[in-house]
Amino acid sequence: MDKLPDILGSLPYLLEGALLTLAITVLALISGFVIGLPLALLRVYGRKPAATLAAAYSTVLRGLPSLVVLFILFYGMAAVVKLPAFLAGCVALGFCSSAYQMELLRGAIQSVGPGQMMAARALGMSQLQAIIHIILPQALRLAIPSWSNEAAVVLKDSSLVYAVGLAELLRRSQQVAARTYQSFIVYSLCALIYFAMTFLANRGLDHAERALRLPTPLEETAH
């Protein structure tokens, strides 16, 4: 246990790594959403070729290990354009996540009944107006629980970027473990930090979901 001070001394170093993990996760989730949402809309409302293309995109990407996508972007593309490791990591995870986000958003969009679109169009809204003002406000609410799940998956997958040399949480834990020979304690600490981040993110999204939940007949009396 004489290594304990040493390990504790490395805590800021590990937390810095956690910050990098968090940054990559957030950026990957955002880019995954920005790519996934239009694709989900194309899949549901697009003409046949566009919908098929979107479906193919998701099938292909969901069939690839994230690490492979990362290597293609970082090493495979190096001859054409040399992406910085951080960017390659965010983009690779973002692409992979976009396929899953597309599917979960598609499910949410489709669970908004067809009558909502019909009523919106009957009032003279364009399809885009109906999507923005009527469909998405309902679909995105429905998507929060699955999205929270996806956030946890991406957070955990973010450890993959250590393969292109980024010193995120897992990479740094490895370094500290090697230096202190206290693998169990160090990796447990690493696990604890991962868990804390996932837990807080999920709790935060649960909270958002509840705050945004529409009133139901039962709650009316509770107010």
Partner 1 sequence: MSNAIVRVENLHKAYGDTEVLKGVNLEVDEGEVLVVIGPSGTGKSTMLRCINLLTRPDQGRVWVAGDEITAPHADVNQIRERVGMVFQDFNLFSHLTAEGNVMVALTKVKKMSKDEARKLAMFELERVGLSDKAQLYPAQLSGGQKQRVAIARALAMDPSVMLFDEPTSALDPELIGEVLEVMKKLAREGMTMIVVTHEMGFAREVSTRMIFMEHGVIAEQGPTQQLFYNPQHPRTREFLGKITELYGHEQGEA
Could you list the residues that contact partner 1 (CB under 8 A)?
Answer: 113, 115-116, 118-126, 129, 133-134, 137-138, 141, 214-217, 220
For partner 1, the closer of residues 84 and 113 by Cβ is: 113
Give the closest residue to 102 by CA, choosing from 188, 44, 23, 177. Answer: 44
For partner 1, the closer of residues 5 and 124 by Cβ is: 124
For partner 1, the closer of residues 15 and 140 by Cβ is: 140
Between CA 68 and CA 196 the distance in angstroms is 28
CB of 216 to partner 1, least distance (A): 5
CB of 1 to partner 1, least distance (A): 56
CB of 218 to partner 1, least distance (A): 9
Between CA 48 and CA 54 the distance in angstroms is 10
Question: What are the residues whose beta carbons fall under 8 Å from the beta carbon of 171, sequence distance 6 or more?
Answer: 17, 159, 162
For partner 1, the closer of residues 77 and 212 by Cβ is: 212
CB of 44 to partner 1, least distance (A): 17
Query: Cα–Cα distances in Å, from 70 out to 49, 153, 176, 194?
Result: 28, 16, 25, 21
Cα four-point dihedral sign 84, 9, 11, 171:
positive
